Amino acid sequence: MSRQPPFSAGSPVPSRRLSRLARLGGMAGGLAGGVLLDGARRLASGERPRWEDLVLTPGNVARVTDQLAQLRGAAMKMGQLLSMDAGDLLPPELSAIMARLRAEAEPMPRAQVQSVLDRAWGKGWEAGFEDFPFRPVAAASIGQVHRALTRDGRLFAIKIQYPGVRRSIDSDVDNVATLLRVSRILPGHLDIAPLLGQAKRQLHEEADYEREADCLDRFRALLGEDPAYLLPSVERDLTRRDVLAMTYLHSVPIETLEAAPQRERDRAAERLIALALRELFEFQLMQTDPNLANYRFDPASGRIVLLDFGATRAFPAELAEACRGLARAALAGSRAATEASLAELGLLDERIPAEKRHEILRLFALATEPLRREGPFDFGDQTLARSLRDEGMAMANERSEWRLPPVDALFLQRKFAGTYLLAARLRARVDVRRLIERYV
């Protein structure tokens, strides 16, 4: 074992429901206090501010993100999902604050790590390791990762779940939803019950590390010996529901490729886009979290390293076929076929006014421009991203027209939007049309 000083960094994860509820209650109180003070000040100066303007101030959003980051678990994960890794699609003030929830969480103190592993592996587990640093190499919303060396010389990445995460999922999701309702960030007419049910299901699945191990094994089998990708293998003897043990892969963050030659950036982005398309059209199984930390790069082999399969989601073959029809319509530039395909996917219906349908179709045509472009599309050109942001924000401001799309469509949107943003960050040039024509 490593002889390092006691791990002083980090803060304990509140594991009891009452303590987590108290944190969320305090957050709601702080938010309300901020709204009242700012509202009184602005009214005194003669302004008539909207409620949303009072709620979504940088100070109030900072209060919320600070508390969610302290809680970790499902509360922090909900904040990440709400921020949607949206990058330039959010107003810059909110984008900078919400990035806090996509950064690393505070790690657990050493005593809490010890307690989790004592329960999972039994006391005296340290005897099986030559080195087990209690300082993690990464910490996220549901767990943290340690790089450990066994007595027989095997190097592992050990993912340890924060205590209390699984049993607090339902109450965390309900409490965050209540906060959104009370703060009136969401319109009153919006029925978010189906989305909350899916969020709970997804988070319960992500909190089951034995399920994640199964998903990782499935992806290893599906990708086989594909030279473009590299995945860790599971160490079943050390894996439990709260602990996932995998081979440690030497790699660097994918964003380090920003300084790489154009050809290398293009190849990496093409592989990520090709993988997303294979997941949808071939596997009907998708890792739906496009967080930057889930993609790394192996400089020695030039392969993309794929990590974190907790958010793996299966899609019905019918959904893949409907998406295939939508891709055909986009490539053909056919408004009628696009409208029919969007209706089949549940993204358009007769309740939507004609003017709003026209706006949705225009936004879809804009978003699918890379598919119609002959030759490589330059993701480094931010003209399209800015247009999408402006159009999207204009539609978002019309709160009375908000509708929740089917949950599967939301997960697909998140995956492909995240992949787009990663390609944009790499300033890659990719022939997207050539990639998607294989499937349509």
Active site positions, annotated: 289
* Range 31-49 burial, b when 16+ CB lie within 10 A, else e: beebbeebbeeeeeeeeee
Q: What share of the chain is helix, strand, coil (3-state, %, to 5)?
A: 60, 10, 30
Q: How far apart (Å, rounded) are the C-alpha atoms in residues 310 and 214?
A: 10
Dihedral angle computed from the Cα positions of residues 204, 66, 61 and 196, in that order, rounded to the nearest 10 degrees: 10
Interatomic CA distance for residues 407 and 116, integer angstroms: 33
Of 12, 140, 146, 6, nearest to 73 by C-alpha is: 140
Non-local (6+) Cβ contacts of 282 within 8 A are none
Residue 234 bridge partners (DSSP): 246
Contact 118, 94 (CB under 8 A): no
Question: Measured at the alpha carbon of residue 272, what is the angle toward residues 324 and 160, in degrees to the nearest 5?
Answer: 115
Q: How far is the C-alpha of 259 from the C-alpha of 398, rounded, in Å? A: 40
- Sign of the torsion angle spanned by Cα atoms 40, 43, 49, 50: positive
**Which residue in 265, 277, 261, 280 sits closest to 376, CA to CA?**
265
Residues of 141-166 as b/e, b for ≥16 C-beta within 10 angstroms? Answer: bbbbbbbbbbeeeeebbbbbbbbbbb
- Token pair 């890792």 is found at 287
- Could you give the 3-state DSSP secondary structure of residue 439? coil
DSSP three-state, residue 144: strand
In the structure encoding, which two tokens stand for residue 109, read together? 């103190």
What are the residue ranges of helices labelled H in 103-186? 110-121, 165-182
Dihedral angle sign, alpha carbons of residues 260, 262, 265, 268: negative
**What's the rounded Cα separation, in Å, for the pair 46 and 165?**
46
